[in-house]
Structures are given as C-alpha cells and as structure tokens.
Amino acid sequence: MDDLLGDLEGDLGSVLLERYAQLNQQQPFKPGDLVCWKPGLKNRRVPAYGTPAVVLEVLDPPIPDSERESGSAYFREPLSLVLGLFWDQDPG
C-alpha cells in the first residue's frame, strides 16, 4: 500500500477529496478526441500516464466490466469508451 501512496504529498484527506472531484468531472467525449489519464486516477495497465489514446466510440449506455469478483477494483465498473492506441509490447 505504501508504494501506491508514495507519490502523494501533503494531507492525504485533501488529496483524496481532490481526486474524488477529478473523478466526477464529466467530459463530453466524442470519436476523434485525444484522451489521457487524469493524474492519480489510472486504474488500467495501458495506456501509461502521458500516453495519448484516441476515442473510437462512446458507448451509450456504458457496459459493466465483466469482472465477477466483488473484491476486484473493476467489479461493475462502467465502461463507456472504446479507445485506440499504439501497442508496442509483445502479444499478451
């Protein structure tokens, strides 16, 4: 857990409230928009922070992640975007 909090500075309560506010800022995405992660809110391996992706499709309504375990961070996460990005890693 300490590794996850290593980049946080200042009062953790204030940082938590700031990230909550960032998470709840709605963005009207449309196909062709370039997007990247908001600071502190990345919850997937790719794309990396600072790596752009292009919006290919906006899903309306969003579909829930297929994760079946309620202990997972992805459980019932609403997935609303289909993104395109360069993948320079080995398959898998």
Q: What is the reported pLDDT for 92?
A: 55
Domain-located, residue 91: no
Task: Kindly report, residue by residue over 25-52, the tens digit of the pLDDT.
Answer: 888 999 999 999 988 888 888 899 999 9
User: In the prediction, which pLDDT does 59 show?
Assistant: 96
In whole angstroms, what is the distance from residue 37 CA to residue 77 CA? 16
Percent of the chain with pLDDT over 90: 33
On whether residue 8 sits in a domain, the answer given is no
77: Cβ contacts below 8 Å, ≥ 6 apart: 43, 64, 65, 67
Q: Which of 14, 21, 71 is nearest to 41 (CA)?
A: 21
Asked if the structure places residue 52 within a domain, the reply is yes
pTM of the full structure = 0.71
Residue 36: predicted pLDDT: 93
Task: Assess whether pLDDT exceeds 50 at residue 64.
Answer: yes
Query: How many domains in the chain?
Result: 1
Q: Is residue 79 part of a domain?
A: yes
Q: Confirm whether 6 is domain-assigned.
A: no
User: Where in the sequence is the domain holding 37, given as residue range(s)?
Assistant: 28-84
